Amino acid sequence: MAKLPKFTLKHNDKRDKWDLTKDKSGEVVRSFTKKESATKGGVLKRAVGPAGGSVKIQKEDGKYQEERTYPRGKDPKRSKG
């Protein structure tokens, strides 16, 4: 199975927004005014696109809160740890 694209949702202190960025290129895919507006109701799934991907969600302090995979069917069956 091909590797999924990886994204990170993190707070941009300079702009006071939440940016969804591609991990490989650092390109901002989409920005949100609040973290809640990014994580509710399938918004991240649409932002990642039809190919899907893995999204790491950070807290405002930079620590990781959780990781989500879109679509869920592409979530790895086995993982380390």
Where exactly are the structural domains of the chain? 6-74
Q: What is the pLDDT along the chain (81 residues), one digit of tens a residue?
A: 568 899 999 999 999 999 999 999 999 999 999 999 999 988 999 999 888 899 999 999 999 999 998 887 776 666 665
- Quick: pLDDT tens for 31-52: 999 999 999 988 999 999 888 8
Task: Evaluate whether 7 touches 56 at the Cβ level (below 8 Å).
Answer: yes
pLDDT value at residue 79: 62
